[in-house]
Amino acid sequence: MKAKINNTYYLYIISANLRAYSLYFLNRISNYRIEKIKFYKVLGYKLNLEKPESFNEKIIWKKIYDRNPLLPVTSDKYAVRSYIKNVLGEETAKEILIPLLYVTNKPETIPLEKLPVPFIIKPNHYSGRYIMVRNGDYDKKEIIRTCRKWLKTPFGLEKLEWAYQPIQRKIVIEKLLQDEEGNIPADFKFDMFHSKCVRIRVVLNRMNNQSNFIYDREWNLLSKTEADFSPKLKIEKPKNYEMMIELAEKLSAPFDHVRVDLYNISGKIFFGELTHYSKSGFIKLKSGLSDYELGRYWNIKPEYWKSK
């Protein structure tokens, strides 16, 4: 049985790597034909890489051509902590960074029994992969196995997301943020263009019956999408909203566009992440600012362009 499990595990790793590298090279040698076909199927119009105008076109352009050396640093869930300290200073960084409990590239060394619950385990080079541990009820062997799989698997390569590729892979364990009721707190996502906030998406109940509210810089509601089973919700403007804006402006300064994710729990602000490739450039903007309206706020900087 053990040999069979090991074989399945390694076959998964090999197939995941082969698929990622194959799609990447096929895209490159075909002048990004795969990306263009997917773009048309998802968004309904042709991808223009010669003269990108829409928000989604510019995200994909950024994936392919932007080589700002800070992109891998700020996409790295561990290295970004140093970036925040450099930009905001040690004192402010200490206030907004989620407490770090452990980091390693050897999952078998994780002292799970000694870590204060609740905590969250995630790979530093991945998006959307995590294990939440809310109590002492967990499978240590499965956690180690999953972490090893993460470390051996590339992320974003087949989607042309360059920033994730130079990252030295690690497992990061942080305190799990919870609100007063023990739920995952509201996620404030600031879309920053040239250090100016254009819109904020607030995500509630991310783990169950998710609701989304989109506001402009002045906290005017642009649109909302509530879960079918949720009550009518209203998001109050945080009392320290201007401080959140100020943090987002400082953290976004080196980039023409980046999404700054922050949490606000009872007036205390926490840093979530910096996102450069929102939905990898396949965002269906059904309400609020349109794809082309958002694109007009983004003037692509030539400083770090990779040669075409």
pLDDT one-digit tens code per residue, 81-97 = 999 999 999 999 999 99
Residues of the chain with pLDDT > 90: what percent?
76
How many Cβ atoms are within 10 Å of 99's Cβ, its own excluded?
Answer: 12
- Identify the weakest region by mean pLDDT among 170-184, 218-232, 287-301: 218-232
Please determine, for residue 212, whether its predicted confidence score (pLDDT) is greater than 90. Answer: no
CA distance 150 to 127: 11
The pLDDT, as a whole number, for residue 209 is 67
Please determine, for residue 232, whether its predicted confidence score (pLDDT) is greater than 70. Answer: no
pLDDT band of 11, cuts 50, 70, 90: confident
CA distance 104 to 260: 25
Give the residue-averaged pLDDT of 144-148: 96
Please determine, for residue 207, whether its predicted confidence score (pLDDT) is greater than 90. Answer: no
pLDDT band of 6, cuts 50, 70, 90: low
Token pair belonging to 19: 């698929």
Q: Cβ distance 32 to 159 under 8 Å? A: no
Please determine, for residue 268, whether its predicted confidence score (pLDDT) is greater than 90. Answer: yes
The pLDDT, as a whole number, for residue 229 is 43
Token pair belonging to 256: 């023409």
Terminus-to-terminus CA distance in the chain, angstroms?
Answer: 50
CA distance 93 to 87: 9
The pLDDT, as a whole number, for residue 19 is 84
Give the residue-averaged pLDDT of 134-163: 94
Counts for the chain of helices (H) and strands (E), in that order = 9, 10
Mean of per-residue pLDDT scores for the chain: 91
pLDDT band of 17, cuts 50, 70, 90: confident
pLDDT band of 224, cuts 50, 70, 90: confident
The pLDDT, as a whole number, for residue 264 is 96
Give the residue-averaged pLDDT of 56-65: 97
What Cα–Cα distance (Å) separates residue 153 from each residue in 17, 23, 149, 207, 265? Answer: 6, 14, 6, 25, 34
Q: Cβ distance 203 to 189 under 8 Å? A: yes
Give the position of tokens 């692509």. 300
pTM across the whole model: 0.91
Q: Which helix (H) or strand (E) holds 254?
A: none
CA distance 192 to 195: 6
Give the residue-averaged pLDDT of 201-228: 82
Per residue in 270-299, pLDDT tens? 999 999 999 999 999 876 789 999 999 999
* Angle at CA of residue 302, ends 70 and 47, nearest 5°: 95
pLDDT band of 205, cuts 50, 70, 90: confident
CA distance 150 to 14: 13
Please determine, for residue 215, whether its predicted confidence score (pLDDT) is greater than 50. Answer: yes
